Amino acid sequence: MDNPHLVKREHGSPQATKASGTILIVPSLPPPSMRSMPHAAPVGPARSQFLRSEAPPASSVAQSRTQFNRSEAPSYETRLSEAEDPLMMEMRVRQSVRSNSVPSSHDDMQQSFTHRSFTDIGMKLKACNDTVGELQQLGIQHVAELPELVMVGDQSSGKSSLMSGLAELNLPRSGGVCTRCPIHIRLSRNREPVWQCTVSLQLDYDYCPTGPIKKSDVTKANPFPPWVKKPHRETRSFKTIFEKAEIEEVLRWAQVAILNHSRNSELFVPGEGAYAKEIPLEQAATETEAQFSPNIVALEVKGPSLPDLSFYDLPGVFLAPSKEEDEYIVQVVKNLTSEYVRRERAIIMWALPMNHDPENSISLGLIRDARAQNRTIGIMTKADLIQDTASWLAILRGEKHTVGQGYFITSRSPDEALESAAQWEEHFFHTGPSDWPNEFARFQDRCGVELLTKFISRRLSDAFTDSLPSIKLKINERLREVRQRLSELPELPHNVEHEVKSSLLRFYSEVKDGIKDSEFLSEWNTLNKQFQACLIKMKPTCLVKDDDPPPVIDLNMSDDDTSSVTMADTPSNRKRPRASDSTIRATPTKRTRGAVDMSPIKPENDWPRASQSMRATPMPPAVPNEDQSPFRRFYNLGRQGLSITSIRQEIQKCQTPGMPPDVIPQGVYDPLIQKAIRNWHDALDAYKEHTIALYKDVIYRALDTSMQSFIRRNIYATSREYLASFIMQAEQLQSAKLIDLYCAEMNGMFVTDDESYTRYKEQELLVLRRARNMNRLRVAGFAWDMQNANSEEDRAKQNDFMRKHLPRLGDDPYAAEIKVAAVVRGYYIAAAEHFMRSVAISMKANLFMPIARRSLDLFLDEKLQISEAATWAVAGLVLHFTTCLALLYFSPYSALLFPHHLHRPRLVLLNTIHLLTRTPAQGRDDSIYARLMEEDDTIAVQRGQLRREMNKLTQAIDSINQLEISGGGARRAFYGAAGLASDMVDVDMDSVMGDEA
């Protein structure tokens, strides 16, 4: 045929194609109906020899590839027997058929996808396999099943060595932790000469242990106990490395991290995490929370010479664990393998070692149970240890253990370095030692990891190309469903960020005004006066009555003859004179008008009893509604806190030998003062609680006022919860401050205002002496001659009476004790006034002032995760430094400050400033504002899940669209061939995202 682009093709007949003067011989494809049928054995030796000896020059091959858009490599569907001759074929340009009708079935759509534009996509192995890897990492398998390569095999089947060869990595080959979770490896060719590996943890399950796990716990409904399926995948970055030598250690630590689900994965990052720095890897591998995990360790590897592949490596299936308590793991690993194998679009790579009997393969039984033989590639490993050659040849010929994708043979010496493993394998199979039987020469085109890599790469690309329309339609259908569910949720305000910030600004303004409000200040001032009155009323009273017997006084002498007063001590056993005794009676028996009887005297408005103390200035401040004071229950705590007898005992205890009796030891005062001040503790707690209640009321009232329209939304409940935490922290801080003040007063006497202390002491001394003198006169029998002192005239008469009769009693034996009591009570008043001022100042400084200084604003913004202050602060410092550097750089002295080799373009500095000024805004997460404006936590969680899913689906559609665009108009061709309008397949993303603006 003159035109090389015209093809006359008949299946089963040889075809010849001209390409630049060279005849290119390629096998023809079987009919589509035969592509899914299992094929027994690969090509024979005739074809192998022909391809090696008669292959055209590379230039011809490249040119023919350009013209016909075909690869010189044989298709995986081709199966030729030994007797068959190579098929010849010519290529022609296919006529583009455009149909305006909608395909009647999914099969029609699949056929339309075989349009040449999509064939172009299929030829782009890198683009297809990269897209597959991206979709797998997004975790959209719940929406559309993706083609995937899955490596399965029994323990010790050579999977690890095989995976190391495929990925060109030194992966862990020994047992232990490397067999206890799946690994997903994504390989991608990098145009730059840089090798890079990013390790992450893909968490699809939560670890929920409830006790020891038994074999009976593993059921169909619970295949991986105690792991529970999560609603959505969570991906955690682990570490990015740039040296191949680090991959084995990083991979092992990543699996240790995934087996310690409840702990922060950053602890296990080698070289960085605290746990990884302190604990050896071998020890960490034996001390994990879980013995097995269905979660995935993902490796994304980019390098200049890597194939474009994405595959899973599953733990090896086994029958007996090393420990009896791990018996359940046997079934768990089988369940994991079955789950991956049963996926309809999974391409299974079954590893079986040639030094074991294939009849004993556990993995083959799982593959058969899943009816997945047609999707299985058999990979014979450890060819250098082959046993029973006849049995393996029978398998290769398809006589037993038939799998749909045929078999490959590999051999990786454990003693060879990774860099020389491929050369060693090539030497072993083709020009190597005599250990490799000649009977396998006809299968040389299926020997070696390199040929296997090319085959599975093309197989994965073809599978993805075939399923791409279905995947895209399912993703778009799910996008519409997500959009519909989002539209059914309660509507958020149009601008959630504005509403959140406006409501918070109103709250901050309200609470600041509330602290300054006259009503609040009036209530707090009343509380301060009530507390101060309580402290004064708690002043310790002093019992001035002593236990000594009364003196005997001759009352028949003239009252005016005081110089002849005789006084004799009465023996201790003498009875006290009674009022009716004639020896002490000075008035008639009948009560005369104005006389004072012996009946009890009222404690207020009248002269108190001799056993009671008299009050001294200052009097308690006038308190409104004192009857409603919250401190009334503490008023009597100081009653009879002192007595002259107890003071005498304290003096005697503190006196040292030889000390004059009229000298008061210094150690007498502190215990008495501490006993009095100790009563402040409970009253102080009550004062703090009532102040905090006022403080809390102001804050919550401001919150209710400012967020009246958002009471049913999360921002109100969340803010109230965080405000409770803020108030609790403020209360704890204030409690510590008050305890410090209280303990400072308990340390002992410390006077700074000498004038006030002296005044209070002298006033207390007058009151105590008067009470003491009244008591002495009463005991001596003069009580009935005393009158009530309700006026200045009466008080003057009493003073005259005491001046007239007290000399008859002589010196007071308890005068020193009265002075001590005056010191204690005077100091108490001075200390109470100072303590009250200190407490009020502390309350104001630690509770009210922080609100004015925006401490509450910063606290709440940080808790709500909307604070940008810290970011701006750091950015501001760096920006200031960079600006100064820029000014120096642009100055005339820059040549002196910056050596020539350190010069950089000015654009670098300007770009740095630009990035710094944009950093806070770019770091903002708008979803936080949306969550705060939700009406219910359940709705917020649901909305967040739907948004995350929509983002993943959107990324998946973008990846597919990019793949189609790279195929050279493939998208338009597909829609034209399928007769579909683009709006049937694509979701209007602007409308989808519009609801979330």
Following DSSP, what letter does each residue of 55-76 receive, concatenated? PPPHHHHHHHHHHH---SSPPT
Going by C-alpha positions, the residue among 275, 197, 279 that lies closest to residue 238 is: 197
Helices then strands, counting H and E runs in the chain, come out as 34, 15
Residue 190, burial from CB neighbour count under 10 angstroms (0-12, 13-18, 19+): middle
The pairing of strands 407-409 and 376-381 is parallel
| Distance in angstroms (rounded) separating the CA atoms of residues 468 and 462 | 10
CA distances from 855 to 50, 497, 512, 975 (A): 84, 22, 11, 61
User: What are the helix (H) ranges across 439-517?
Assistant: 449-488, 496-516
| DSSP-derived secondary structure for 329-375 | HHHHHHHHHHHHHT-TTEEEEEEEETTS-GGG-HHHHHHHHTT-GGG
| Distance in angstroms (rounded) separating the CA atoms of residues 414 and 421 | 9
Low-confidence ranges of the chain (pLDDT < 50): 1-123, 175-177, 555-617, 869-875, 896-908, 910, 913-924, 969-997
Task: Give all domains of the chain, ordered by start, each with its CATH number.
Answer: 18-112 (no CATH), 146-168+348-465 (3.40.50.300), 514-544+630-854 (no CATH), 936-994 (no CATH)
Residue 889, burial from CB neighbour count under 10 angstroms (0-12, 13-18, 19+): middle
Q: Are 942 and 509 in contact (CB under 8 A)?
A: no
Tokens 């023809």 correspond to 28
- Provide CB contacts within 8 A for 9, sequence distance 6+: 15, 28, 89, 90, 92
The token pair that represents 435 in the structure block = 């250990």
Q: Are 432 and 398 in contact (CB under 8 A)?
A: no
Q: Tell me, what's the pLDDT at 553? A: 57
Q: Are 383 and 409 in contact (CB under 8 A)?
A: yes
| Distance in angstroms (rounded) separating the CA atoms of residues 552 and 278 | 90
DSSP 872: H
Q: Tell me, what's the pLDDT at 884? A: 60
Cα-Cα end-to-end distance for the chain: 63
Tokens 């009352």 correspond to 555
Q: Are 934 and 499 in contact (CB under 8 A)?
A: no
C-beta atoms surrounding 616 within 10 Å: 21
706-726 as b/e: b if 16+ CB within 10 A: bbeebeebbbbebbbebbeeb
Q: Are 470 and 144 in contact (CB under 8 A)?
A: yes
Q: Tell me, what's the pLDDT at 745? A: 92
What region does 761 belong to: left with phi over 0, alpha with psi -120 to 50, or beta?
alpha
Q: Tell me, what's the pLDDT at 469? A: 87
Vertex 50 angle, CA 45 and 56, to 5°: 155
| Distance in angstroms (rounded) separating the CA atoms of residues 481 and 475 | 10
C-beta atoms surrounding 440 within 10 Å: 19
Q: Tell me, what's the pLDDT at 132? A: 76
| Distance in angstroms (rounded) separating the CA atoms of residues 631 and 627 | 10
SS3 category, 398: coil
- The answer, yes or no, to whether the previous bond of 588 is cis (omega within 30 of 0) is no
CA 258, distance to chain mean position in Å, is 17
- Provide CB contacts within 8 A for 397, sequence distance 6+: 40, 41
| Distance in angstroms (rounded) separating the CA atoms of residues 318 and 330 | 6
Tokens 């993943």 correspond to 952
C-beta atoms surrounding 531 within 10 Å: 27
Could you list the beta-strand ranges (E) of 135-190: 148-153, 183-189
The three state secondary structure string of 940-979 is: HHHHHHHHHHHHHHHHHHHHHHHHHHHCCCHHHHHHHHHC
H-run or E-run covering 825: helix 815-843
| Distance in angstroms (rounded) separating the CA atoms of residues 402 and 394 | 10
- Provide CB contacts within 8 A for 758, sequence distance 6+: 826
Query: Which residues sit opposite 200 in a β-bridge?
Result: 237, 298
The three state secondary structure string of 615-682 is: CCCCCCCCCCCHHHCCCHHHHHHHCCCEEHHHHHHHHHHHCCCCCCCCCCCHHHHHHHHHHHHCCHHH
Angle subtended by helix axes 518-537 and 680-706, to nearest 10: 170
| DSSP-derived secondary structure for 739-794 | HHHHHHHHT----S-HHHHHHHHHHHHHHHHHHHHHHHHHHHT-GGG-----SHHH
SS3 category, 378: strand
| Distance in angstroms (rounded) separating the CA atoms of residues 299 and 527 | 67
H-run or E-run covering 311: strand 309-313
